[in-house]
Chains A and B, each alone.
Chain A
């Protein structure tokens, strides 16, 4: 490459670097803004559900199978319930449960992964082999088996999703703790007499929290998909609960009445997509590998 060509190439790279610096601040990314906006809207819908919904979500007061129209925006279902009201009230099941699922998986996975990384030896082996076993099953298959064994209920479906989801946090935290454990600041703290618990909670935790939270943001969408999938199979929410997955299942029986399943499915898609927009932007900005690639 000739000298001017090298100069041009460098200048172009510099310009590109300038362009891609926006990645460093995720909130300037349009996808993240859209994602946060959609999540905020759905959260408001959940909070104001009784005000927004024109009808009781389980009241069977309208004619059956009405197509979408002025009175029933999303039509009515096989029992004469207002689909719009059911979609609106569905937020009150899906959103809190998604937060609960991710928080619980994150807490269990982080504690177990932290213990495995810090204590090593037999504790590490046992915890990580159990995690390997969970990974040996494709997600919904194990969740399905667990829910079927415990009994088809929303509570059991939640337990099943937590059982399937914690190992990913355990692996992440274990890796982070292992690399932090040998760092100078942790060694200094231990030499000063800090216990392994103190090292874990005071010195290591702040360095683990960031990546774990990003993983959590990315996992919110998956948790919703898994839980609604279980409800679709009839293993999660039970009738007459207004849960989106089970509403899609009801629509699949009355196949030509497309509105019964279209709207709850769209609700799942928009919420999961919004969480993924936010999670993906956060990961791009914080993952050193992608961030480095973007700066190159």
Chain B
């Protein structure tokens, strides 16, 4: 029996695992907190180190893939026009050390990457890094909108499905979520654009703003945020209006994914003794759901949210082009259709780095939520 139970045996709301009140008193609790903080820091450092190793690994994959290209790498990287210019070819060979051994070439490649050199895009004839810097904020805004919508809808519907298990809302949501993860995103985007813009006129159409509107003053590059910060309401409404349809289309897959997972996680705990105990002691249903059911399910939900973010980034490649959304997805689409290898590799590296960073954040956040995981 814990201190809390002996001290207040008749108090119905007393949690047996109340923090900091264990047998040793406040001194020991402080030591335990310090120990916990040290564990957390070590855990965070380890996750970041693993993430950095993975980032280096992704550069190795990108490098090896460029080696796979049949024919002359200078031709593949510079395009047919530039290959007729011997000076450009010579400069490329020199810069990438093409006459040296493969490991040496990789070191040179890494050195170039560290200086932000991802090569020259064959479509825009600009540095890939310059292109990416221009397009990343648009995709970030879209992906952020989609992940927030996915979490809100996915978790809410997942809880509803689990609590109405085997009844009609559950069956309906199950079919809907399976349809969500089964629909090809590029096709849903096309149909949604056709119906809501072309036929019904509900959506303002492609792009990030109405035609003729100037972008808000650059702060974050996210138009909704920048417009809000500068108090430009009409611009904010326009930016939000443009993001809704592509954002919802992107979210269809991830809502399905999060819904299915939340349902399974909630089902795992909903029949457990402590949930029945919480109900038996008369806690309101809202408290039981929020504190006793959702909290233990949260670790899993956060993990899946990390994976969902990866799906969103994949989805942008297939969705942005249809909505004329000027992000890295559209850039990747154009690069793929034009076989612009430096741009494709640039997008892959940047997206993989983002994805790894998101996964580090996910790992760290469940280290915070569940202290047991810090030790594993």
Contacts and interface: CB of A to CB of B under 8 A. Distances in A.
Interface stretch (A105-113, A171-179, A183-191, A225-233): A225-233
A261 B198 CA distance: 15
Nearest to B322: A252
Contacts of B54: 132-133, 136
Interface in A248-287: 248-249, 251-252, 255-256, 258, 261-262, 264-265, 268-269, 272-273, 276-277, 280
Interface in B322-369: 322, 332-333, 335-337, 339, 341, 344-345, 347-348, 351-352, 355-356
Contacts, number: 165
Interface stretch (B40-48, B148-156, B174-182): B174-182
Contact of A138 (B178, B310, B333, B344): B310
B344 A144 contact: yes
Contacts of A251: 190
B65 interface: yes
A164 to B, nearest CB: 10
B interface, over-half SS: helix
A148 B313 CA distance: 18
Nearest to B318: A229
A145 B62 contact: yes
B194 A258 contact: yes
B337 A148 contact: no
A41 interface: no
Interface in B47-94: 54-55, 57-58, 60-62, 65-66, 68-70
Contact of A149 (B66, B166, B268, B270): B66
A141 interface: yes
Contacts of A265: 184, 187-188, 190-191
Contacts of B159: none
A179 B185 CA distance: 38
A144 B68 contact: no
Given A149-B66, A233-B337, A137 B355 contact: yes
B178 A280 contact: yes
Nearest to A256: B198
Given A144-B336, A269-B187, A136 B58 contact: yes
> Which 10 residue pairs across A and B have the least CB separation, nearest first?
A296-B271, A265-B187, A293-B267, A138-B310, A273-B182, A272-B182, A149-B65, A138-B314, A140-B314, A133-B57
Interface of A: 1, 16, 19-20, 31, 129, 132-133, 136-142, 144-146, 148-152, 221, 225, 228-229, 232-235, 245, 248-249, 251-252, 255-256, 258, 261-262, 264-265, 268-269, 272-273, 276-277, 280, 289-290, 292-294, 296
Interface of B: 54-55, 57-58, 60-62, 65-66, 68-70, 165-166, 174-175, 178-179, 181-188, 190-191, 193-194, 198, 260, 264, 267-268, 270-272, 280, 310-311, 313-314, 317-318, 322, 332-333, 335-337, 339, 341, 344-345, 347-348, 351-352, 355-356
Given A138-B355, A249-B186, A261-B191, 12 more contacts: A132-B57, A142-B352, A144-B317, A144-B344, A225-B184, A232-B186, A269-B187, A272-B182, A272-B184, A273-B182, A290-B267, A296-B270
